[in-house]
Amino acid sequence: MLRTTAVVSIVTVLSVGCSQGQARDPGPAAAKAEKPPEPVTLKLYDVQVVSDEDLEILYNGPIKKKYPHITVEKIDRTKVSLQDVISTNQQFDLFTIGNSEIAKFEDLGFFEDMTPLLDKNKMDLSRFDPRAIESTKSVSHGGLYGVPFAVLTCALFYNKDIFDKFGVSYPKDGMTWDQVIEIAKALTRQESGVQYMGIHPEALVRVGKPLALNPVDPVTHKASVTGEPYKRAFELGKLLNDVSANAQKTTYWNPFFRDKTIGMVATYNILTSPFFRETEGKLNWDMVQYPSFSDMPNNAGPYSFHLYGISKTSKQKEAATKVIELLSSDEVHMSMVRSTGRVSALKDPKFQQAYGADNPILKGKNIQAMFKSTYSPGLQFSKYSGNASTIMEAEYKNFLNNKYDVNTALRTAEEKINQNIAQELKK
């Protein structure tokens, strides 16, 4: 009996030993499962420019934490056009773009509806501002050519030192253009041989934004720019120019940021610009709400925003979708609004409340001015709208320089736009 028990014990020990040995040796199947994923490099073309700093903060920083095997590299847009990238079959996986630019690039054939990819990854689009999703569908023929990330807001930026120098009260939120013009008059003067200018409104595209100017019909592809809204935008722009010593003879960048000779700039959210990052401690500035037309209070025009998208030509769509999903996360959007000056396209009010919290340039500034205007629905655009806007700006400048009256300027612009479209249709 004892002998039998001993034999059983030996067999048991051997069996246990064998099973333990098998546990220590995972075998080829388990080893294969533990193999790290192959490195993936995704190529980004930033139609909407992404700085090298933002590439690390908003892209590769969070990507490396969650997906160490994925890296995003920018295609050098200063050396190669998007058209050349596509025509030469270069790797092209991701893009950034403004909603107004989609029609311009649609003929290149790199857009596709991302809805199936987003559904497969169970991405929750209800987290986004519904206006952003609706506007994206509007320019994507009912689909989603991209995922919104940053809303394009506007504000009136001003140099406090110029106001102090001339004893003029600072601007306030909720002002009309008429009120801003009176302030501009008070700031426009010569002092010690220096010409100070009251206001620079950037360009016609910004002056006319509250009026929802859209120079080419997206269906008929015909220009229609001689109506009252265009006349109103041209005349406001000229009035601003004339009361500010012809401030629009050049861009506002150097006069406002470096020369410090412009009192106010009414423009888009330039807090994301490298120029602003250079101003820390050098420019005594603040901002207020973008001015309104008196009969359109607090209206800053159509909803505009920037999108991330995946190229139809990408061979790395699974990795690209993971990146888009990550970049749309609360974590990345919170980092974006706290540090880069961008306004999130996500609807949770926490992003507005945290705006600028980690950006030293914005400390003590009236940053909530960015959120006080309302925006009308986003526009649809024609693929000819880009060239049309360039023509409009040129005729606007001719009008500012008194080359001809407003009606002649608008009629000339319309004729040139339609001629340009006719030439494009012949190609």
**Average of per-residue pLDDT across 303-307:** 94
Distance CA 101, CA 139 (A): 9
- Mean pLDDT is lowest, of 41-50, 175-184, 220-229, 372-381, for 372-381
Q: Is the pLDDT of residue 5 over 90?
A: no
d(CA 92, CA 95): 8
Least confident of 70-74, 119-123, 162-166, 375-379: 375-379
Same fold, 40-152+304-348 and 154-301+381-426: yes
The CATH superfamily holding the domain 40-152+304-348 is Periplasmic binding protein-like II (3.40.190.10)
Residue range 240-299, pLDDT digits in tens: 999 999 999 999 999 999 999 999 999 999 998 877 878 878 899 999 999 999 999 999
Q: Which pLDDT score, from 0 to 100, does residue 4 have?
A: 41
**pLDDT value at 12 more than 80:** no
Between the alpha carbon of residue 392 and those of residues 138, 250, 412, the distances in Å are: 24, 16, 9
> What are 127-158's pLDDT values in tens digits?
999 999 999 999 999 999 999 999 999 999 99
State residue 217 phi and psi, 5-degree precision. -65, 125
Q: Domain spans of the chain?
A: 40-152+304-348, 154-301+381-426
Fold of 154-301+381-426: D-Maltodextrin-Binding Protein; domain 2 (3.40.190)
Task: Quote the pTM value.
Answer: 0.88
For 179-203, what is the mean pLDDT?
A: 97
Cα→Cα distances 412→389, 393, 403, 420, Å: 13, 12, 12, 12
Tokens of 227: 């109506």
- What whole-number percentage of the chain has pLDDT above 70? 92
